[in-house]
Structure 1
Amino acid sequence: MAIPYYTYPKLKLPGPKGDITVSSFFEQAYVSSREHFDLAATTANSTELTQLQAAVAECRPDPGKPSPSSTFIPTEETKAIAIDPSDPTKTIWISAQLTPK
């Protein structure tokens, strides 16, 4: 039966001899709210991290198999474009069907 007033940091509740009012300061409410937010964020992040680690463990590539990036074989539909003219090893592969623009 307590009634919190968030605009004015007060909490009113019925008592044996009338209403009981508990007051606070905005600074104290902000610090307390920030501490609770940080605790909740840390707890949520640790739970999500555990779930992500479990998901990543299931998706790890097989060490015996080559990775998809190392098995790329260009087809006739792709062409190499030099990114840096001074270094011919820096190239990318794009679709050969793109317009020059």
Structure 2
Amino acid sequence: MIAVLAVMTVKEGNGAEFESLAADLVAKVRANEEGANLLYQLVRSKTDPNVYTFMELYRDGDAMKVHAGSDYFQAAFQAMLPLLAGEPKIELLDAL
């Protein structure tokens, strides 16, 4: 299994719009990637409300590629980019 932590900082005042886009994306991932995506959860920092993290867990590298290449992910990511204060920080991890 492969885990991903995608940390994103949104510009001040853009949290509600980001959360709405993310909720739609999470629903689509859960509906379309059952069995390949084992966890797809957005969480918000308790110390900085502008910092969000997607916690993701994939069955394997192929499942992660399918997710990253999906139309719904690409559209959501492009819609989220203008709301961000900087580049997302993506960390790939081996699930043990």
**Which structure: larger Rg?**
1
Is the TM value for this pair above 0.5? no
**Larger strand fraction of residues:** 2
**Larger helix fraction of residues:** 2
TM-score tier after normalising by the smaller chain length: under 0.3
Q: Higher relative contact order at CA 8 Å, sep ≥6: structure 1 or structure 2?
A: 2
Normalised by the length of structure 1, the TM-score is 0.22
